[in-house]
Structure 1
Amino acid sequence: MRVLIVTVGSRGDVAPYTGLAARLRAAGHAVAIATHDPFATLVGGTGCEFRPLPGDPRTILDAAALSVRVVPRVVRYLDAVGAALPDAVRPGVDVLVTGAATAPLVGHLGAGLGVPVLGAYLQPAHPTRAFPPPVSSVRSLGGFGNWMSARAVRAVVDGFSAPAVRTLRSRLGLAPGGTIAPPPVVYGFSPAVLPPPTDWPSDLRAVGYWWPEPPADWRPPPPLAGFLAAGDPPVHVGLGSLGDAPRARRFAGLAVRELRRRGFRVLVQGSVDAEPADDGVLLLGDVPHERLFPHVAAVLHHAGAGTTAAALRAGVPTVPVPVQADQHLWARRAVQLTVAPGALRLRTATPEQVADAVTAAVGDPRYRAGARRLAAILAAEDGAAAVLDMVDRLGQ
């Protein structure tokens, strides 16, 4: 079968689908991934076809803020993506697989083409009483409050897509204002990390992670290999897609200096203010987390879904610093699962608090034990197999 995966957003929103694509391809399917140009090499490394989508991947991060000022930019972005989708499927497709951000558009695309659609989501997108909507930084509002706030967020997100959906339906020859049945959805996170809420329908399943596909010929660059061999396992500091923002650079710079003062060796991914000239610090470029994290003592990170999953898989304790969207949910879960001593706030955490948290994560055996216990569970799961099964059934 010909399978097209559609996903947008940051690298962490795209990389997991490379593992899924590689698994589908190994099963004999012809697989393409439609996403943004910066990820063409990432997709090509799987042996799958890359089909370009327009726009700046960071726009989805802006949309997560649910701010009025970003609405015009997000609407224009989704309009451009919607306009490009018919070209992305033109070579032919038998099954469409979509991430959450593009699900409204891909659902109508599938309806217009008569092609089945599978939702393959990385973050919880369905309302529940169990926790507040992941795009929110608030703690639980109680069962009814969580449910209603999730419904409100869903309405806002659907509003972002509404103009693009209208244009796409017109282009596909569908009646204006029509609705579609929601596609089946599987979630690419482990039920051991976030158990599916009991008020979700039984067909919403958390099937386990589908891990990014690392380049087969990847080797650590000599500076990294030498640094890892030169001393104790270092602490990894990286704030993902947020890492180039001025506040994040300042946070990282202060954190690195304090960690060095406490005697930790440090690996840094992303930018830092006043880069330290110190042989106990190494600045990294693009290094696969799945290859790097098993060699570190702890991970100080923004708690994005992909980075959180990579740290859990590696069995290392973490110190989450969530800023937006689902990062707050994964940070809370890391603390609840005893793999992190606590979550910090980017705006208010002092260098001393950062170093204290890292010291606890590395020095308290509870967090190492919790991380290793969870890593053993994840190693026994096969999330991609469930998606492969669903694709096979939809394509029949």
Structure 2
Amino acid sequence: MRLILITFGTQGDCRPIVALGLGLRDAGHDVLMLGERSAAALAAEHGLAFAPMAGDIQQTLAPGGALHKLMNEGGNVAEATRAFARIAEDNTEAWMAQLAEAAREADGIVFSGLTAYVALSVGEQLGKPVIAAGMFPISPTRDFPSALLPPFKMPGWASYGSHMLINYVLWRMFRPATNAARAKLFGVPPRKAMWRDFPTLYAMSPHLVPRPRDWHADWLVSGAWTMPPQHDWQPGAPLQDFLAAGEPPLYIGFGSMAGFDRQRVVTALLEAVDGRRALFYPGWSGIDVSALPPNFPVVGATPHDWLMPRVSAAIHHGGAGTTHAVAAAGVPSIVLPFAGDQFFWAGRLAALGVAPRYVEGHKIDAARLASMIGFTEQAGTREKAATLGRAIAAERGVANAVAAIERFCGRRGA
């Protein structure tokens, strides 16, 4: 089959789609990925056909960008939807035109994140199977509230209603740009209602998010989509020497997060770590690493499946990819969420006893962070993390997703 994968977002959004693309390619399918430009290098490294899309996610996270306010004020749903709407207004028409051209001879479209209404529109107009790829749950359920809300405890009816409300708000924000692009490119009248009940594959561990019993039969939890192991990868001598010189260190990294109060976070980290061994990955944070002490050596991009089993715990932002990587390694997490679904993942880890209760990234201080580090050092926490890690490491998320995509597309005669 000829399949088009489309996504726009941070590295946490793009890496699972690259992993899925590689799995589809290895199964004999012809794959093209349309993605945010920062994913181009990763796709090229693995020989996956890739075309960059309009927009720059790093710019949206920078001061003045659409997502900057979220990094400093936390998980405000209203602000998040306004930010997403700004991204949609800037890019929807270009994305829709690019996808429509790429998908004309395709057998199916797999989309994730902010490209949802673009992909559903193109699939509808071209008569192509369209499959959603979710990094966090958005399909309505009574089991838990919307992943874009803090992890409140709600009665079932309220949880279900929260999903419906958030999804409707998102559609309302994206609808003007979506309908404008549909009219210009396809000459069709405005669409009023959301799409419903399309096949959805969730790149989530069922050990972190058990599949709700009230979901549609075509909403599946496959397990996380991780990159193939790089068996020949070797760390540089400084990292090897540091790891060999003492106890497993803390890992500290906030991935693609940027635009937050760097000074507040660094001050809390330095005081709370209090001389412990720690590895720091700056990512997109913009943190000045020259000011870090000797017990904070800086690492570049390092395969999570290699590094995480060698650390004692990980302090991170709670992105879906990092959350799964740390959990699969069998080590505890400390989650400092900034926006979006990060609060959801922080809540799931805490509920399983492998992370302390989260503190928002923009509210962290040394005392609270020190207490959180202490939680990860408890024997009970470490035992729970190890048990969870063994279960997640045995999952085969990409293979499950490939089989489901073949089934969904085959059902449409592809």
- TM-score normalised by the chain length of structure 2: 0.86
Aligned-partner residue type, residue 345 of structure 1? E
1:150 deviation in Å? 2.0
Aligned-partner residue type, residue 30 of structure 1? D
Aligned-partner residue type, residue 85 of structure 1? L
User: Partners of 2:292 and 2:162 in 1: how far apart?
Assistant: 47
Aligned-partner residue type, residue 106 of structure 1? A
The question of whether the paired residues in 2 share the 8 Å contact of 1:36 and 1:56 is answered with yes
Matches within 5 A, 1:19-30: 19-30=19-30
1:348-390 CA distances to partner (integer Å, 9 max, x unpaired)? Answer: 33212212211220x2111111111111111222122222122
- SS of the aligned residue for 1:381 comes to coil
User: Partners of 2:164 and 2:263 in 1: how far apart?
Assistant: 35
Aligned-partner residue type, residue 189 of structure 2? P
Matches within 5 A, 1:26-105: 26-58=26-58, 59=60, 62=67, 65-67=77-79, 70=83, 71-89=85-103, 92-105=105-118
Aligned-partner residue type, residue 365 of structure 1? A
Other-structure match for 1:288: 303
* Corresponding position: 1:2 with 2:15: no
1:297 deviation in Å? 0.6
Other-structure match for 1:372: 386
User: Partners of 1:319 and 1:72 in 2: how far apart?
Assistant: 31
Comparing 285-294 and 11-20, the one that deviates more: 285-294
Change (3 A) 1:133 1:324: same
User: Partners of 1:268 and 1:222 in 2: how far apart?
Assistant: 16
User: Partners of 1:340 and 1:199 in 2: how far apart?
Assistant: 28
- SS of the aligned residue for 2:5 comes to strand
Other-structure match for 1:222: 237
Question: Of the candidates 204, 212, 237, which is equivalent to residue 197 of structure 1?
Answer: 212
Q: CA RMSD in A?
A: 2.4
The question of whether the paired residues in 1 share the 8 Å contact of 2:12 and 2:321 is answered with yes
1:227-284 CA distances to partner (integer Å, 9 max, x unpaired)? Answer: 2222211101112222x3241453134313431x2x4101111244674453311122
State the percentage of identical aligned residues: 32
User: Partners of 1:379 and 1:141 in 2: how far apart?
Assistant: 31
* Corresponding position: 1:110 with 2:123: yes
Question: Of the candidates 133, 140, 144, which is equivalent to residue 120 of structure 1?
Answer: 133
Change (3 A) 1:201 1:266: same
Comparing 263-272 and 369-378, the one that deviates more: 263-272
The question of whether the paired residues in 2 share the 8 Å contact of 1:112 and 1:174 is answered with no
* Corresponding position: 1:390 with 2:404: yes
- TM-score normalised by the chain length of structure 1: 0.90
The question of whether the paired residues in 1 share the 8 Å contact of 2:9 and 2:113 is answered with no
Other-structure match for 1:267: 279
* Corresponding position: 1:170 with 2:183: yes
Other-structure match for 1:305: 320
User: Partners of 2:217 and 2:354 in 1: how far apart?
Assistant: 29
1:144 deviation in Å? 2.8
Aligned-partner residue type, residue 147 of structure 1? Y
Unaligned runs of 5+ in 2: none
The question of whether the paired residues in 2 share the 8 Å contact of 1:253 and 1:273 is answered with no
- SS of the aligned residue for 1:150 comes to helix
Matches within 5 A, 1:185-264: 185-213=200-228, 218-242=233-257, 244-259=258-273, 261=274, 263-264=275-276
1:172 deviation in Å? 5.0
Other-structure match for 1:334: 349
Other-structure match for 1:12: 12
The question of whether the paired residues in 1 share the 8 Å contact of 2:111 and 2:131 is answered with yes
* Corresponding position: 1:150 with 2:163: yes
User: Partners of 1:139 and 1:79 in 2: how far apart?
Assistant: 36
